[in-house]
Amino acid sequence: MNEPTNNIEQARLAALYQVSSQLGASLDLSEVLNQVMDAIILLTGAERGFLMLFDDLTGRLRTEAARNVDRETIEGESMQISRTVLQRAATTGDPILTSNAQEDERFSDQQSVIGYQLRSIMCVPLRARARIIGAVYVDNRLYSGVFKEADLELLGTFANQAAIAIDNARLFTQTDHALARRVEELTVFQQIDQQLNKSLELNQVLSSALTWAIALTTADSGSIGLLVETETGPALRLSVNTSAGGEPPRMAPADHPVLAQVLQEERSVYLEQVSEAESLDGRAAAVQLAVPIKRDGLITGLITLESRTPQAISDEDIAFVERLADRAAVAIKNARLYEDIHAANKAKSDFISVVTHELRLPMTSIKGYTDLIMSGMSGELNEQQKQFLGVIKRNLDRMSVLIRDLSDINRIESGRMQFEVGAFDVRDVVMEVVESFQEQAATKSQTLRVEIGEGDTAVSADSRRVSQVLTNLVSNANKYTPPHGDILIQVQPQAAFVQVAVCDTGIGISEENQAQLFNQFFRAEDAAVREQVGWGLGLSIVKKMVEAQGGEIWFQSTFGEGSTFAFTLPSANITRELE
Ligand code: ADP
C-alpha cells in the first residue's frame, strides 16, 4: 500500500469511525435513517442513493430514505433496475458492485443505466439479528467517481452497524407504539368496563359491547348475539345488529357454517369473501370476523364484525375484540343474574300479593264472627269460653299485623306503595300517636313524654305513612321497655330537616344484633323480645318508608340501658323554597 492510498484509507476509516459513532445516539427511526443515508453518501461519495426496508406486515420492500432522488422516481419505471438490484441484494444477502454498468451485461441493457448514463452501482444488504432487514443502494454517473472493492467493503462495514442502529430504532418505535397502544387500550377498556357494568339491562350491555367493537376496529358493521335453546336445538339470537334497524332479533341455527365453525374450534374465525348466504347476519362482506363470547369456558354468544374492504380487520383488531368479548361476558353474566333476580323477585312479590289478598277475606270473616260471639249476641259465654276466644282474638291480631306488614313490604319493594306527600306539622302526628299509646304505656307504668325543640316543625311527607313509622317505633319502645321505664319523643327542627327521635330506657340491643336490626324477620333472641308479639318486619318497613320520603333513619343503643331511634323528614319550608 503506497503512501497516498494509505492516507485515503485512513481518512475513510476516520470518517467511518465518526459517522458510526454518531449512530445509535438516537432511537428515533426517521432520524436514524437520515443519519445513515447522509453517512452513506459521505462515505461512498455517491451521487444518489436510497435505502429500503422490508415491511413487517406485507413483507415487501419499502423506500425509507433517499438522497438526491425522490421516492416517486425510485418507485417509477426509470429506476426499475435499481430496485431489482436492491431486491436481489436484499433477498440473496450478497453485495453487488459494478464499476462499469454500461458494459456489465447484468445492467447494460437497462433503461435507467442508459438513460442516466450510469456507470457505477453499489448495493449491500442490511443485516440485523441474523436476518436481512433491507438494503442500501448508491450509484454514480459516468463522469463522477467509480466505485471500487474498497468502497464496497467500507459500505458493507458501515451497513452492518447501520442495520443494527435501524433495527434498534425500529424495535424501540414498535415497543413504544405497542406500549402506547396498550396504555390506550387499557384506558379504553376502563371506559368500556364502566359502560358495560353501568347497565344491568342485557340488551344495553350487548349494544354497548358491539358499539365499542365497531368503533375501535376498522369494521363497517357488526352484530352481537347470545346462544339460546330453541325447540330445534341451540341457536344464536342476534340481539343487536347494526344493519337490522328496528327488525326483531334474527335467529341463526347452530349448524350455520360460521357459527358451527366457532362452536367446533372454540375460537375466533376470520373469513374472507363472505357471501350474503354464508354471512351470519345476512350481509356480504370482504372480511368477516366471528369472536366467541365465553363464560366459564363455554361459548354463550358471538360478536361478528364485517368490512367491505379487504384486509380491513387486522390481527390487532382480532386480539382487541377477543379481549372485549371477555369483558362483555362478565357484564352479560351480571345482567343475566340481575334479570334472574328480578324475575325471582317479581314471582315472590306476585305470590305475596295473592296470598295476603286471599288471607284477608277469611280473616275478616273469622274476626267478625269472633267479635260477634264475644259480644254475647249469639248466647251467653262462660269464663273459659271467653278466655279461649281471647286467645283466638290475640292470634288473629298477630296474623293481621303479619298480613299488613307483608303487603306493605311487598308494595314498597315493587314500587307500588303510593306516598301522598304534602306539608303538615309533624307535631300533630306525634301528638296523635302519643295519645293512642297512652293507655298501653300506662298498663306498663311507663312515662310517655314529648319534647318539641325551637323552630318550624312543618315537614313535607305523607302524614299517614309518618304516623305508621312513628307508631312502629313507639310500639317497639313500649314493647321492649320494662314496666316503669321512660319513653321520650323529641321533635327537633334542623336546617333542611326535622328530626324525630324515640328514646327509651328499655332492654337495649347488643352490638352483635345492631348490625342486623333492619333486616327482614330479624328479632333478637332475648326472652324479653320473644315474649312480645312481633314478626321482625316493622323496622325494615320503617326504614324503607322514611327513605322513600327523602329522610334517613338511624339508632343508638346500649344493651341493658335503652335505645334511641331517630329519623328525619324534609322540612316543608326548604321543599317550598326548592320549588
Ligand atoms: P318486631 O318488633 O316485630 O320484632 P321490628 O322490626 O320492629 O320487629 O324490630 C326488630 C327487632 O329489633 C326486635 O325484635 C328487637 O329485637 C329489636 N328492637 C326493635 N326496637 C327495639 C327497642 N326499642 N329496644 C330494644 N330492641 C328493639
Cβ 563 under 6 angstroms from ligand 1: yes
Most confident by average pLDDT, 94-103, 143-152, 271-280, 288-297 = 288-297
**Per-residue pLDDT at 578 exceeds 70:** no
- Per-residue pLDDT averaged across 167-190, rounded? 80
Ligand 1 contact via 405 beta carbon (within 6 Å)? no
Distance from Cα 476 to the centre of ligand 1, integer Å: 6
How far is residue 149's CA from residue 155's CA, in Å, rounded to a whole number?
10
pLDDT at 291: 94
Q: How far apart are CA 566 and CA 506, in angstroms?
A: 16
Higher pLDDT, 115 or 443: 443
Among protein residues, the one with the nearest Cα to ligand 1's atom 8 is 536
For ligand 1, what atom is nearest to the CA of residue 536?
A: 8
- Categorize the per-residue pLDDT at 184 as very low, low, confident or very high, splitting at 50, 70 and 90: confident
The H-assigned helical ranges of 480-525 are 511-514
Question: Considering only CA atoms, which residue is closest to atom 23 of ligand 1?
Answer: 477
Which of 400, 509, 532 is the pocket-test mutation for ligand 1 (most atoms within 8 Å of CB)? 509
Residues 447/562, Cβ–Cβ less than 8 Å? no
What Rg do the C-alpha atoms of the chain give, in angstroms?
44
Highest mean pLDDT of the ranges 109-123, 164-178, 200-214, 415-429: 415-429
506 Cβ closer than 6 Å to some ligand 1 atom: yes
Q: Cα–chain-centroid distance for residue 102?
A: 68
Say yes or no: CB of residue 475 within 6 Å of ligand 1.
no
Q: Model confidence at 248, in pLDDT bands (50, 70, 90)?
A: low
pLDDT reading at 452 higher than 90: yes
CB of 61 closer than 6 angstroms to any ligand 1 atom:
no
Q: Which of 135, 133, 112 is nearest to 122 (CA)?
A: 135
pLDDT, residue 3, reads 47
Residues 484 and 420: their CA atoms lie apart, in Å, by: 38
Residue 380 is classified by DSSP as -
More confident residue, 143 or 533: 533
Burial class (CB in 10 A: 0-12, 13-18, 19+), 439: exposed
For ligand 1, atom 13, the nearest C-alpha belongs to 523
Q: Which atom of ligand 1 is nearest to the CA of 541?
A: 6
Nearest of 218, 238, 213 to residue 285 by alpha carbon: 218
Residue with CA nearest ligand 1 atom 25:
508
**Does residue 518's CB lie within 6 angstroms of at least one atom of ligand 1?**
no
536 C-alpha to ligand 1 centroid (Å): 7
Atom 21 in ligand 1: residue holding the nearest Cα: 476
Q: Is the pLDDT of residue 26 over 70?
A: yes
Residue 521 CA to ligand 1 center (angstroms) comes to 10
11: buried, middle or exposed (CB in 10 Å: 19+, 13-18, 0-12)? exposed
pLDDT tens-digit map of 356-401: 889 988 999 999 999 999 999 999 999 999 999 999 998 898 888 8
How high is the pLDDT of residue 142? Answer: 64
Distance from C-alpha of 346 to C-alpha of 352, rounded to nearest angstrom: 10
**Predicted local confidence at residue 280, as pLDDT:** 77
**pLDDT of amino acid 112:** 61
> Is residue 454 over pLDDT 90?
yes
Q: Are 302 and 259 in contact (CB under 8 A)?
A: yes
| pLDDT above 70 for 2 | no
Q: Is the CB of 419 under 6 A from ligand 1?
A: no
How many CA atoms within 13 Å lie on the side-chain side of 227? 19
Q: Which CA distances in Å does 75 have to 51, 62, 138?
A: 12, 9, 15
Check if the beta carbon of residue 128 is closer than 8 Å to that of residue 24.
no
Q: What is the mean pLDDT of residues 536-540?
A: 94
Please tell me the least confidently modeled range out of 185-199, 236-250, 423-437. Answer: 236-250
Q: Which residues contact 374 (CB under 8 A, 6 or more apart)?
A: 381, 386, 389, 393
Decide whether any atom of ligand 1 lies within 6 Å of the 539 Cβ. Answer: yes
Residue-wise pLDDT for 153-173, tens only, equals 989 989 998 998 999 888 888
Surface-to-core class of residue 295, CB atoms within 10 Å of its CB (0-12 exposed, 13-18 middle, 19+ buried): middle
Top mutation candidate among 517, 541, 557 for ligand 1, by most atoms within 8 Å of CB: 517
- According to the model, what pLDDT value does residue 242 have? 64
> Quick one: which atom of ligand 1 is closest to the CA of 508?
25
**Distance (Å, whole) CA 192 – CA 213:** 10
Which of 406, 469, 529 to mutate for ligand 1's pocket (most ligand atoms within 8 Å of CB)?
Answer: 529
Helix axis angle for 202-215 and 315-374, nearest 10°, is 170
Q: pLDDT at residue 573 above 50?
A: yes
Residue 465's alpha-carbon distances to 41, 299, 422, in angstroms, are 92, 50, 11
Q: What is the distance in A from the centroid of ligand 1 to the CA of 523?
A: 6
CA distances from 362 to 355, 366, 386, 396, 408 (A): 12, 6, 22, 11, 19
Q: Ligand 1 centroid vs 471 CA: distance in angstroms?
A: 13
Contacts of 436 (CB under 8 A, 6+ apart): 471
Lowest mean pLDDT among 3-12, 218-227, 297-306, 352-361: 3-12
Q: Strands 486-493 and 221-230, how do they pair? A: unpaired
Q: Is 477 in the pocket of ligand 1 (CB under 6 A)?
A: yes
Is the pLDDT at 1 greater than 50? The verdict is no
CA 48 – CA 44 distance, rounded (Å): 10
* Higher local confidence (pLDDT), 559 or 361: 559
CB 523 within 8 A of CB 529: yes
Question: Which of residues 189 and 270 earns the better pLDDT score?
Answer: 270
Is the CB of residue 400 less than 8 Å from the CB of residue 533?
Answer: no
| pLDDT value of position 274 | 86
Q: If you measure from the C-alpha of residue 504 to the centroid of ligand 1, how many angstroms do you get, rounded to a whole number?
A: 12
Q: How far apart are the CA of 169 and the centre of ligand 1, in A?
A: 74
Query: Could you tell me the pLDDT band of residue 62, with boundaries at 50, 70 and 90?
Result: very high
Measured from the CB, is residue 446 less than 6 Å from ligand 1?
no
Cβ-proximal residues to 413 (8 Å cutoff; 6+ apart), any chain = 345, 349, 544
- Separation of CA 509 and ligand 1 centre (Å): 8
Give the range among 98-112, 444-458, 565-579 with minimum mean pLDDT.
98-112
Averaged over 305-316, what is the pLDDT?
85
In ligand 1, the atom with minimum distance to the C-alpha of 481 is: 24
Cell of 483: 314496666
**Lowest-confidence pick of 412-421, 436-445, 459-468:** 412-421
CA distance 253 to 144: 74
Quick check: 98 pLDDT over 50? Answer: yes
* pLDDT mean over 172-182: 78
Q: Is the CB of 553 under 6 A from ligand 1?
A: no
Q: How far apart are CA 289 and CA 242, in angstroms?
A: 15
Cβ(349)–Cβ(223) under 8 Å? no
Q: Which amino acid is at 544?
A: K
Q: How confident is the model at residue 132 (pLDDT cuts 50, 70, 90)?
A: very high
- Mutate which of 476, 509, 564 for ligand 1? The one with the most ligand atoms within 8 Å of its CB, which is 476
User: What is residue 4's predicted lDDT score, i.e. its pLDDT?
Assistant: 54
For ligand 1, atom 11, name the residue with the nearest CA.
Answer: 523
User: Does the pLDDT value for residue 311 go beyond 90?
Assistant: no
Average pLDDT of span 317-329? 88
